[in-house]
Amino acid sequence: MRRLLLLVLLLPLLHANCYQDSYYQGLGGMREGAKVLLFKQGLPGDPVAIVPIGSLIAVASSDGTISYIDSRAVVRTLSICSGREVKMAHGITSKGGVIYAICYSREKQVASLAIIMDSGSFRFYEQPVPSRFNSSGTGFIYSSMKRDFPAILEPPAPLVADLNGDGYDEALAYLDGHLLYFESPLADPKQYQVDAVLGLSVRGRTVFVSTSSGIFTWGPDGLKPYSNVGCSSLPLAVDFDGDGKLEVVCRRGDTVQVVKEDSVIFRAEGGVTDPAIHDLNGDKRPELIYILKDGTLVARSSSLLWKAKVEAPYNRPVVADIDGDLKPEVIVAAGQYVYCFSNDGKEKWRANLREFNGWVSGGEVEFQRYVRFEAKTQPILLDYDRDGLLEILVGIGAYLEQGRIALLDEIGKNEAPKVEIISPSNYTKVGKYVKITFRVTDESSRLRVRVLSSAELWSGTVESGSLMSLEIPSFENIVLEASDGVLTTSSKLYLKVDTQPPKMVIEPANMSKISEGTNITVRIIAPIDEYAFLTVYHGTPDNWIKIIERRVWKTSVVSINVTPIVEMVSGYRLFKFHLVDKYGNVEDIVMRYKIERSKEGRVNSSGSLILSVNNLISKEARVNCTLIGLDR
């Protein structure tokens, strides 16, 4: 995939088939496999959750630390969930970006909810704790706030999405028998009492809530029962049977099931991961893709579509067109590998998470192989380097070792792009505008290019290796900057800028009288490098008629015979003189002349002459006549 056009063509299709983040919109370029790049900063534990936030990556580690990292270093670290398991989700609100994070202690069986703004501030969801009655016995005195809530079962990850259609994200989280709805990260939530929630998902603006005793839907008017069939996982809404109505796919113990109201319409051997859902074979029916306990990757709808083998039964699969062939692929991070399977179950390639091709920020790593790293998170697909193609983020770790974040990209050497300016050469003399032709090359993919001087003159994406031509305003110093999203390089162009228009003197002067035999003379008086073009018109601003077009040089004199024009028109007439040099600098002069005829012109005419003879002398006669004073 090298063409942005493919992405534009696919967007309607991709949107229609997106099920709860298991299908990623966009196209990748990993046809021959992928290189594995590392973020430089190690983590205090295994990564357990990853949230992309622009150029930053928020990572929750197994020790409860939340780190904000870029390609080179840790930008910020929070220990507010220290010693706990973290599940988190990110959204954009009217107050800015925010992470909602569940912090769960399996040992203490308590959970808390942290609300972390991208700006750096954070708070916990708290409730006041009554300590005693007041002196009058009419109410409680609250002496403390509670932020830890009982949690025998591990709460699900918060759900963050635009749930009310206002263009901003809201959040749903579960704590201690209550579903909490946050319209704003700074406001107190609305509470809805419910059994222990095991999963939250959204389809459109309808939220599906799974509990062990049944499935509910949530909307602005609260919770409503959907089915009395319980689930133990994420409830995924999809039209499984093709009747135009949504069913719910979920796991219950070791079984994967499809729930339609109070009935189970499909049941099969379940796996240890929540399923990805996508129509792999184009039959208009979605397949369920998940991993069994023995490491078997399964794709099935009402019947088994295919099976494949992966190294470990961990991490939910995802689906994307990762190689740009316009067909979906299944991406699995399992054990020491990231696998890519075709839509019919054939392994296309695998990338070893223990062998590294370099740092994300550029350069080689000190160790090219590490024998203990394994995938700790599901793959996350995004355009991290903004080259128009998908990359893969995955958290990797080893027991009692620093965890890392790996970025899988198209195969290449991880070198900075190269910028070659084809034309013009340095110190070329140019006019007000200049046409620049250049080529930007990189290992692969598309690149972001900016053309700069005192301000940005142009920016856009170009395909690696292709010639690009731009006409831009001229400056003495111009910089072409190319970036693959992580590494940036630039090239400078030095120009001599000439914006002085050429000059000319025209005789006779403006408003002069001209007649038959008169010449208009144009004299070039300003220095011209090599040549310029002179074009002369007569007529009106809306209808100029070209008289001559001629190449001129320094001190050229051009004489224009106006006799043909004088013979056709009279009165005041406009003449336009357009002089442009090789740099595009223009001098325009409009003259007004009064045209007079020096003598009457002869015009052929036709008519009839009638002769009358009173007395007929003979049948033949000779007539001589002279016509004097006939007007035209």
Cα 108 to Cα 106: distance, rounded to the nearest angstrom: 6
The region, left, alpha or beta by phi > 0 then psi within -120 to 50, assigned to residue 230 is: beta
Give, in words, the CATH class of 4-409.
Answer: mainly beta
Contacts of residue 465, defined as CB under 8 A and 6 or more positions apart, other chains included, come to 439, 440, 441
- C-alpha dist (Å) from residue 91 to 113, 160, 183, 199: 15, 6, 12, 18
* CATH 2.130.10.10 domain residues, the chain: 4-409
Residue with tokens 């062998």: 355
What is the fold, at CATH topology level, of the domain defined by 418-497? Immunoglobulin-like (2.60.40)
DSSP-based three-state secondary structure for 565: helix
Decide if 20 contacts 201 (C-beta within 8 A): yes
Could you tell me the strand order of the sheet in which 197-203 lies? Answer: 197-203, 206-211, 214-219, 222-227
Element (H, E) at 15: helix 4-16
Distance of CA 237 to the CA centre of its chain: 28
Q: To the nearest whole percent, how much of the chain has pLDDT over 90?
A: 59
Decide if 452 contacts 479 (C-beta within 8 A): yes
* CATH 2.60.40.770 domain residues, the chain: 504-596
Q: Could you tell me which of 469, 463, 318, 468 has the C-alpha nearest to residue 388?
A: 463
Instruction: Tokens for 420, please give them.
Output: 């070659």
Convert 245-280 to b/e letters by CB count within 10 Å (16 or more is b).
Answer: ebbbbbbbeeebbbbbeeeeebebebbbbbbbbbbb
β-strands 513-515, 586-596 pairing: parallel
DSSP-based three-state secondary structure for 573: strand
Read off the pLDDT of residues 477-501 as tens digits, 9 standing for 90 and up.
999 999 876 678 999 999 999 888 8
Instruction: Tokens for 120, please give them.
Output: 């750096």
Half-sphere exposure (CA, 13 Å, Cβ side) for 206? 15
* CATH 2.60.40.1930 domain residues, the chain: 418-497
pLDDT at position 28: 83
Q: Could you tell me which of 395, 417, 389 has the C-alpha nearest to residue 407?
A: 395
Cα 314 to Cα 333: distance, rounded to the nearest angstrom: 8
Element (H, E) at 33: none
Instruction: Tokens for 205, please give them.
Output: 């603006």
Decide if 624 contacts 598 (C-beta within 8 A): no
pLDDT at position 630: 45
Phi, psi of 366 (to 5 degrees): -70, -25
Decide if 390 contacts 28 (C-beta within 8 A): yes
Instruction: Tokens for 280, please give them.
Output: 């792999």
DSSP-based three-state secondary structure for 6: helix
Decide if 98 contacts 114 (C-beta within 8 A): no
Give, in words, the CATH class of 504-596.
Answer: mainly beta
Alpha-carbon dihedral 246, 247, 250, 253, rounded to 10 degrees: 170
Decide if 468 contacts 458 (C-beta within 8 A): no
Residue type, 158: P
Residue with tokens 């704003």: 184
Could you please report the per-residue DSSP string of 507-562? ESPTT-EEETT-EEEEEE-S--SS-EEEEEEEEETTEEEEEEEEEE-TT-EEEEE-
Residue with tokens 């320094």: 554
Alpha-carbon dihedral 471, 474, 478, 482, rounded to 10 degrees: -20
Stretches where the chain sits below pLDDT 70 are 1-21, 130-143, 368-371, 400, 412-414, 443-445, 485-486, 598-632
Cα 441 to Cα 415: distance, rounded to the nearest angstrom: 10
The region, left, alpha or beta by phi > 0 then psi within -120 to 50, assigned to residue 165 is: left
Cα 396 to Cα 45: distance, rounded to the nearest angstrom: 10
Instruction: Tokens for 226, please give them.
Output: 């959907």
DSSP-based three-state secondary structure for 564: helix
Half-sphere exposure (CA, 13 Å, Cβ side) for 624? 0
Cα 187 to Cα 43: distance, rounded to the nearest angstrom: 32
